[in-house]
Amino acid sequence: MTEGATESPEAGATEEVDMLREKIARLEERVRSLDQLAHQDPLLHLPNRRGFLRELKSLIARVTRYGESAAMLFVDIDGLKRINDSYGHKAGDDALVHVATLLSGGIRQSDCVARLGGDEFGILLAHADSESAHETAGRLADLIGRSESSCDGNSLPLGVAIGLTMIGKDDTPDAVIARADTAMYREKSAA
């Protein structure tokens, strides 16, 4: 612009709209980033408990509305405290990553694995009847039982207890998780 010339109101408004669009885009990206932090486990890059509850609510809604068959598996790693106490938390973290990788690789892409906390995982199996859910639980337990994590050349055998519950019409997330947790403790006691 030459000296003495003034900017037209339209040009100023366009510039301000562009600045506002950029600011909105930055804020939307920040919201996406915060949502990811709130719903994802930072170590395993899986949904955390909050993310799992969101997925479970959605699955319950589909079961209720469309009559889909679905199940939840509650997975508890055996001996993680012993690994942490004997080899340190880095070895425990490595064991968690190893199990998470096996669980994620052992289910369909449409299913969901999440870390519920500590050494506990939740798995949602959509379009799964009782027979296929039991088969999946058994296969995952065998897969993990046959694998080993390692730390500084030490082999760390792993095992899991897996509880299973079917998701019913009009179920609640708390009821589903409680049933699966109870089933997992029954499996642990039977072992």
Q: How far is CA 65 from CA 69, 170, 174, in A?
A: 11, 9, 19
Residue from 76, 111, 119, 171 carrying the catalytic annotation? 119
**Would you tell me how many other CB atoms lie within 10 Å of the CB of residue 178?**
13
Active site residue 111: no
Who contacts 106 (Cβ-Cβ below 8 Å, separation ≥6)? 136, 139, 140, 143
**Catalytic site positions:** 119
